[in-house]
Amino acid sequence: MILTVLQGTLSKGRIMSDSKIYVFSDLDDTLISTKGKLPEGVSYETGAYDRDGAPLSFFSNHQKTLVSLLERANAIIIPITGRTSGALGRVNYSFQSYSAVSHGAVVLTPDGVVCDHWQKSVYDQPEDWFMILEKMNEQVQKYIDVNNLDARTRVIVDQNIAAYVSVKGSSAALEALEPMARDSLLGLHRNGRNLACLPPYACKKQAVEHIKQFLSIDTDDLVLGMGDSITDLPFIRSCHFGVIPVDSQIDRELVCE
Ligand SMILES: [Mg+2]
């Protein structure tokens, strides 16, 4: 009788430990940071390179330890990032599963090619989003020129998908440009020196939901969402737990002192 109970307990324990862990994670300011954002005195290693191959972002020891912890638990880490597919390739980490890049506008399979189903859903959009992004880019450029703002704008096309309008600049410049972005048909991401105007398919939550279809996630499996930006919150809410860096945009929004 005692043996039977014990076996039952072990059996339950085995079932629990067989659960997989899936981690949908933003990259910049979540798993890697630029040098200026690293905690003072912390050790670090290269997290990503620029186009010329020079180190540009870093894993702090805390970020690297978090990644190691997930690796030891055999977690499947799925990047959900604003980086383009090219910039994802410059991250100093070998991701093994699906990924969503360009704010979710592009979903890549584990082989690094665009997911056919995703591409079809984007190409089937009735609107010409490339033209809409081009017009928005022109409008933003004109505003920058007329007001002599410290900002630059361009349309990002990633894997032949019109992904988003990327505006980089000073806080004051982005503050001035934000109302124009809000008044447009496009979605808005703003954090730090980045502002992005997004077509409806550039949506991290939609990309996460799309990827989930291919992962055979069991009811008992654990799904984590990690991110630092307000625009990461919808996809984090598609997971069981959220991991949010302290002093990130989300954290600052939550502080109620
Ligand atoms: Mg981020």
Strands 21-25 and 222-226: parallel
**One domain, residues 114 and 135:** no
Q: For residue 112, what are the domain limits? A: 20-124+202-254
Q: Domain count of the chain?
A: 2
22-56, pLDDT tens digit by residue? 999 999 999 999 999 999 999 999 999 999 999 99
Whole-number Å distance, alpha carbon 38 to ligand 1 midpoint, is 14
Cα-to-centroid distance, 252 and ligand 1 (Å): 14
User: What is the Å distance from ligand 1's center to 12 Cα?
Assistant: 38
Shared domain check, 120 and 133? no
Residue 35: DSSP 8-state: G
Which three-class secondary structure state does DSSP give residue 194? strand
Q: What is the mean pLDDT of the chain?
A: 93
Q: Are residues 82 and 186 in the same domain?
A: no
Q: Give CB contacts under 8 A, 24+ apart, made by 105-111.
A: 105/158, 105/161, 105/162, 105/163, 105/164, 105/198, 105/199, 105/201, 105/202, 106/158, 106/159, 106/161, 106/163, 107/207, 107/210, 107/211, 108/159
* Last residue in a domain, options 150, 183, 198: 198
210 and 114, same structural domain? yes
Q: Do 182 and 213 belong together in one domain?
A: no
Query: Ligand 1 centre from 9 Cα, in Å?
Result: 42
Establish if 1 belongs to a structural domain: no
CB neighbours of residue 58 within 10 Å: 22
The dihedral built from the CA positions of residue 59, 63, 69 and 70, taken in this order, carries a sign that is negative
CA dist 121 and 222 (Å) reads 28
Q: Are residues 32 and 85 in the same domain?
A: yes
Q: In terms of domains, do 162 and 235 share one? A: no
Same structural domain, 178 and 229:
no
* 119 and 62 assigned to the same domain: yes
249 domain-assigned:
yes
**14 C-alpha to ligand 1 centroid (Å):** 36
The model's pLDDT over 184-242, given as tens digits with 9 standing for 90+, comes to 989 999 999 999 999 999 999 999 999 999 999 999 999 999 999 999 999 999 999 99
At which residue do the structure tokens 């945009």 appear?
249
Average of per-residue pLDDT across 50-79 = 97
CATH number, domain of 105, equals: 3.40.50.1000
Using the mean position of ligand 1's atoms as its centre, give its distance from the Cα of residue 17 in Å. 31
Task: Using the 3D structure, point to which of 198, 225, 241 is the last residue of a domain.
Answer: 198
3-state helix, strand, coil in the chain (%, to 5): 40, 25, 35
Same-domain check for residues 32 and 98 = yes
Ion ligand 1 contact residues with beta carbon within 5 A: 26, 28-29, 228-229
Q: Do 215 and 238 belong together in one domain?
A: yes
What pLDDT score was predicted for residue 66? Answer: 98
239 in a domain, yes or no?
A: yes
Q: What is the mean pLDDT of residues 149-167?
A: 98
Ramachandran region of residue 152, left (φ > 0), alpha (ψ -120 to 50) or beta? beta
| pLDDT of res. 255 | 81
Task: Please determine, for residue 19, whether its predicted confidence score (pLDDT) is greater than 60.
Answer: yes
Distance 232 CA to ligand 1 centre (A): 8
Domain boundary pick from 175, 198, 221:
198
Cα of 102 to ligand 1 centre, how many Å?
12
Q: Are 179 and 190 in contact (CB under 8 A)?
A: no
Residue 5's pLDDT band (boundaries 50, 70, 90)?
A: very low
